[in-house]
Amino acid sequence: MDDKLKILLNSRKNVESVDVDNFKKIQILNKEFEFTEYNIRNVINATEIFYQEREDNEIYRIYGRLEYLSLLNNLDLNYVLIRDLYNPIIDHNDNNKKTVFNSFDFYLTKPSTSAISLGNDNYVRRFEVIATPNDFELSNAGFSTNVFGEQTYQFNFNKDFDVSQYFDKFGFPITELFLYVLYKPHNNGVNNPETVQRTVFSTTGLTSKGSIATNLTIGSDIYGDKINYDLNNYSQEILLDQTYYITTSFYETGGVTERKIVWKYNPFIPIRLRYLSEDLYKANSGDTSYETTSQIPEYATKLDDNGNFVWRNILPQGYFDPLTNIGVDYPFVNKKSYLFNSIIIDIVPDLSDVTTYNVFRNIKFEDPTILNETPSDNIDNIGNPC
């Protein structure tokens, strides 16, 4: 562009005009350099767009498979004798039995923005209802049974959950939702109906039993588990799970002596959404470096009045930490992530209860001599023809 060219106006041109070269001369150099995809043409990378959309989206649809494992499953609604525990009703069309359909109400909950302080950085975590039994669909899974030959089930929440604005008491982003399984007591064939109680935590470390709220609605708070909150390490640790206790009354054979048997289960079943990284980050909001301050997320916790913050990053969808192997990779379709969960509801006898322990300790088999027989096969014969 610095070359000066003399151009003759057309009105002054004649046969004796001076020839002028109006074309820019370009020097061709034989020099190699690397081309990238975007040096060639402007294209849309569908893979990058997919990952970006998935990472920016925080809407989930929750569904899965459910099993109910307990002696109470398929038990006669009007049970009377202890031996009824070992005689479940097998008929699938019999409505006079305890099943997963008539024994529970299912809710979806998230850690609440409230908690009960127990001192020494220990808290009772509370949970907020975000979906009720009206939002929960449960049905028999076709041609599916568990290892005990019992029916398994499929479930689905018929609404989506946007967790982008969900935070807990300590400002943590929500990494788990919880299926809240509430047992519904029955009036059985014994004089005393079933009862349900929860664990109550105290500042002294001792626990007791208390009543349970029913008829929950969206926004209701539920008394939860005991956790420890570590501010400096931006972490929470579950110290004691919440336990629900079901008391049932049976008569021994002959129908004279009544026994109260206590069962227990954890009503909060976690549904993993994502993970926080193992790496701990700290920064000062007054740092003059924009590169530093721009990395502080909105959920970072303030350490002091000097502008110091601490946090852990949320692991990207599809990424697994190479050291801990933690991470999630859920299907992402129609602007939502689909979370499949395999859930087991296990209600077991509470053997810390003396009566319950004695009842199950004294159970006798019809032919106890079978248990005393020694296997006749030698380990060296394994693999040989019978």
The answer on pLDDT for 329 being more than 60 is yes
pTM: 0.81
Neighbours of 250 (CB within 10 A): 21
Q: What tokens were used for 127?
A: 């949970």
**Residue 333 near residue 239 (C-beta atoms within 8 A):** no
pLDDT tier for residue 374 given thresholds of 50, 70 and 90:
low
Selection from 247, 66, 288, 260 nearest residue 157 by Cα: 66
Selection from 252, 229, 220, 226 nearest residue 240 by Cα: 226
The answer on pLDDT for 319 being more than 80 is yes
The answer on pLDDT for 169 being more than 70 is yes
**Residue 349 near residue 355 (C-beta atoms within 8 A):** no
**Residue 198 near residue 243 (C-beta atoms within 8 A):** yes
The answer on pLDDT for 330 being more than 70 is yes
The answer on pLDDT for 365 being more than 60 is no
Separation of alpha carbons 90 and 75, rounded Å: 9
Alpha helices in the chain (DSSP H): 37-40, 46-56, 100-103, 290-293, 354-361
| Alpha-carbon distances of 174 from 163, 164, 188, 272, rounded to whole Å | 7, 8, 40, 10
Tell me the pLDDT tens digit for each residue of 113-125.
999 999 999 999 9
- Average pLDDT of span 95-116: 95
Q: What tokens were used for 55?
A: 């990472």
The answer on pLDDT for 133 being more than 90 is yes
Q: What residue spans define the domains of the chain? A: 60-276+333-364
The answer on pLDDT for 16 being more than 70 is no
The conformation of residue 198, written as its DSSP 8-state character, comes to E
DSSP reduced 3-state for 51: helix
Q: Higher pLDDT residue, 30 or 14?
A: 30
pLDDT tier for residue 95 given thresholds of 50, 70 and 90:
confident
Neighbours of 311 (CB within 10 A): 22
Q: What tokens were used for 239?
A: 């110290």
Q: How far is CA 151 from the centre of its chain?
A: 24
The answer on pLDDT for 43 being more than 70 is no
- Average pLDDT of span 99-127: 96
Q: How high is the pLDDT of residue 164?
A: 92
pLDDT tier for residue 383 given thresholds of 50, 70 and 90:
low
Neighbours of 244 (CB within 10 A): 20
- What are the respective helix, strand and coil percentages of the chain, to the nearest 5? 15, 35, 50
pLDDT tier for residue 323 given thresholds of 50, 70 and 90:
confident
Amino acid, single-letter form, for residue 190? V
Q: Output the average pLDDT for the chain.
A: 86
DSSP reduced 3-state for 252: coil
- Average pLDDT of span 255-270: 91
- Average pLDDT of span 274-297: 85
Selection from 261, 267, 266 nearest residue 353 by Cα: 261
**Residue 303 near residue 310 (C-beta atoms within 8 A):** yes
Amino acid, single-letter form, for residue 257? T
